[in-house]
Amino acid sequence: MSPPCQPFSTTREAKQRDLQDKRCAALEHLTKMLPKLERPPRWIALENVKGFHGSDACGKWRAALRSAGFRDREIILDLISFGTPNHRTRYYLLAERETKNLQSLPPPCVRPNKEHLPPGVLISGPWAANRRHSLDEAHASARARPHQKENIFRTERRNFLQHLQVACRLPQSCTEDNLTLAGTSKWKLLPLPRARSDALLLCFEEPQVLDTNGDLQQLLQLGQTVEGTTWTVQSNMSPCRPVGDFLEQLQEEEIAELSLSAEMLSRPYAPGLSYVGRKDVRSFCFTGHYGKVMHKSSGSLLYLADEPVDRSALPKSVGLVRFFSPKEILNFLGFPESYKLPRDMELKHRYKVVGNSIAVSVASELLRLLLRGEGAERIKALEEMPHRSSHHGATDPNAG
């Protein structure tokens, strides 16, 4: 089951009216009918946006399940935890009657909500707290002045290197043209974890930097000399494949249809959009408004050049920026290669159906657990604590 998500969504178009939204009528009807069934199903799986948890509709549905003799389990999972370079956090409710497969999944621990961190080096401690404060201010400035975003973050990276050299008593070596760290200039700083003001995350565009890299080991040893600071390598349980692995070989007419025009790239909102390249391992969740609502919360755009995108001169990138195709979004969601959409369906309708679809790669593992009792340890390791949803906004994968 996947009831309409709009009554519980945090997107700007949603009203979050819960049961007051007429789109909840079908779920309410099922809630009334389920306890009356003479032969109810043995298993029921439900998927929805994170905001469904704790809603009145969710409470009524769970009460109906219990009345019909079901046991259930709430789970929150993010697609990126399964090795796909796309954030898509969703609420899942598994229910069973007659079987006991869900008992193989230990109950959720009473702990703060687990925050997914991208691969990188977590720097924490008193010195990191000062750098985090500066990074938070840089992000605030970038939001206020999106056209200067690249310069703001470049200045922040240079300041970080200079403070690191001072803390380690090294001669100043970074310049405007030399911002090399761990043997690469392709790195950024992210204000993560959100719950910690004494930490920040150092991320590298090339994931292999984290794997047996001599320059990284030297950096870690250098970092440990900063008094009261800890440097820890963070890696995913399922290393994310790069965006390029999910792209299609498109025809010229398809590329023309998906490419952003100079006029669109000149709009005031353009610098604030999310641009990801073939080597990136993070992107924003694609919604049913992708291609229609121009906002990073509707999904990322594909940037085809190797060098970083220049947000101050986006019109020069005409021909290098396009929307992901509907088929590429299906690839992110785990649909098989053989799955095709009708050729005569309009592009906006294809975006709507794929944006409102489920993550097949996640749902398939949950169904193995529900129907066969398999994979409980993996699900347990990847699940996030269900909690009343509150919108914090995603961190731009291109920031810092």
Long-range contacts of 26-34 (CB under 8 A, 24+ apart): 27/3, 27/57, 27/61, 28/57, 28/60, 30/1, 30/61, 30/64, 31/60, 31/61, 31/63, 31/64, 32/64, 34/64, 34/65, 34/67, 34/68
Main-chain dihedrals φ then ψ at residue 38, nearest 5 degrees: -75, -35
The DSSP bridge pattern shows strands 275-276 and 301-303 to be parallel
Catalytic annotation present for 58 = no
| DSSP-assigned beta bridge partners for residue 197 | none
β-strand partners of 75: 92
Q: What is the DSSP letter of 10?
A: -
Q: Which strands sit side by side in the sheet containing 301-303, from one edge to the other?
A: 275-276, 301-303, 321-322
How far apart, in Å, do the first and last CA atoms of the chain sit?
39
d(CA 242, CA 26): 39
Please state whether beta strands 199-204 and 187-190 pair in parallel, antiparallel, or not at all (unpaired). antiparallel
Catalytic residue among 5, 58, 203, 285: 5
Name 38's Cβ contacts closer than 8 Å, sequence gap at least 6.
Answer: none
User: So which residues are the catalytic ones?
Assistant: 5
